[in-house]
Structure 1
Amino acid sequence: MPDGRQLADRVLDAVNDHDLARLSWCYDRHAVLSTPLGVCEGREQIVRYWESLFKGFADLAVTVWNRMECADPVFSEWTMTGTHTGPFTLPDGGVAGASGRRITLRGCGACQTRKGLVASHRNYFDLLELYSQLGFSLVAG
């Protein structure tokens, strides 16, 4: 059974390989993924979240540059990069068409395990920074 760090590494490798099947195997069927883009409950919703990111950013990559291990969870600081080349689902359900813009987003996350699978995965990043890099503007309306 993998420990927290090994499991976090498996998730990272599957994300960077855009391997949805491997990602699915990492998460408990009742796992919860929380991000500024929304909350996914259950393995199927989590896989759909990653699939949406991969469709929107065909070259999406995550680089971990700091990791702190407690017994559980494992905390990581990372940089996510990619080019917005496809449809990207927004938190309100709308879809942003490809902008061709490159993103570089710093964030951090916590991955908590149960019985060798991810039970809770929380990623934090600045949604306004992402929107700005995609060329969105804030307009009072």
Structure 2
Amino acid sequence: MSADAIAKSVEALNSHDAKAFAAAYAADAVVHDPSYPQPLKGRDAIEQDVVDLLRAFPDVSLTVGPVLQDGETFAAEYTLRGTHQGPLALPGGEIPATGKSFINNAAVFSKFNTDGEVTEESRYYDVAGLMAQLGVTPTT
């Protein structure tokens, strides 16, 4: 994955283009995300994840921090921000809009193929902290 491919993915998410974001992934990509008990499998599932994200946070924005690459694997820190203005779909059900803003710092580790498509990805972020910022779980 090149710096250009990363920039295109960030631009796609910040432009709220779920299809363009998902196009960075292989058709059979697998994404491990802490919000889901099972991995997302396939480009369509990844696109739907972004559609759901944009429905809940229509003003979402992504900022990428340091990026490291070693062969076919890359790692990056990123910050996601937005305001909870629509229902947030989770495996346990939907959380109605709270109108509250969030900032979530996270990391991602991705493997990609020779075509530059992500084939496997593991996302790491603080789900409990996100829910607390939205006011749907108690802060500790």
User: Equivalences for 1:25-64 in 2 at 5 Å?
Assistant: 25-38=23-36, 39-64=39-64
Q: Deviations over 1:18-43 (max 9, x none)?
A: 11221232111100111111221011
Instruction: Give how far 1:6 is off.
Output: 3.1
Q: Deviations over 1:73-113 (max 9, x none)?
A: 11111111000000111232x00111000000010001211
Instruction: Give how far 1:9 is off.
Output: 2.5
Gaps of 5+ in 1: none
Q: Does 1:11 align with 2:9?
A: yes
Q: Deviations over 1:51-80 (max 9, x none)?
A: 100100001111112111212211111111
**1:89 alignment counterpart:** 89
Provide the identity percentage. 27
Instruction: Give how far 1:5 is off.
Output: 3.5
Query: 2: distance between equivalents of 1:21 and 1:116?
Result: 17
Contact 1:59 1:82 in 2 (8 A): yes
Aligned residue pairs, count:
135
Larger deviation, residues 114-123 vs 96-105: 114-123
SS in 2 for 1:75: strand
TM-score normalised by the chain length of structure 1: 0.89
TM-score normalised by the chain length of structure 2: 0.89
The alignment's C-alpha RMSD in Å is 1.4
Larger deviation, residues 115-124 vs 3-12: 3-12
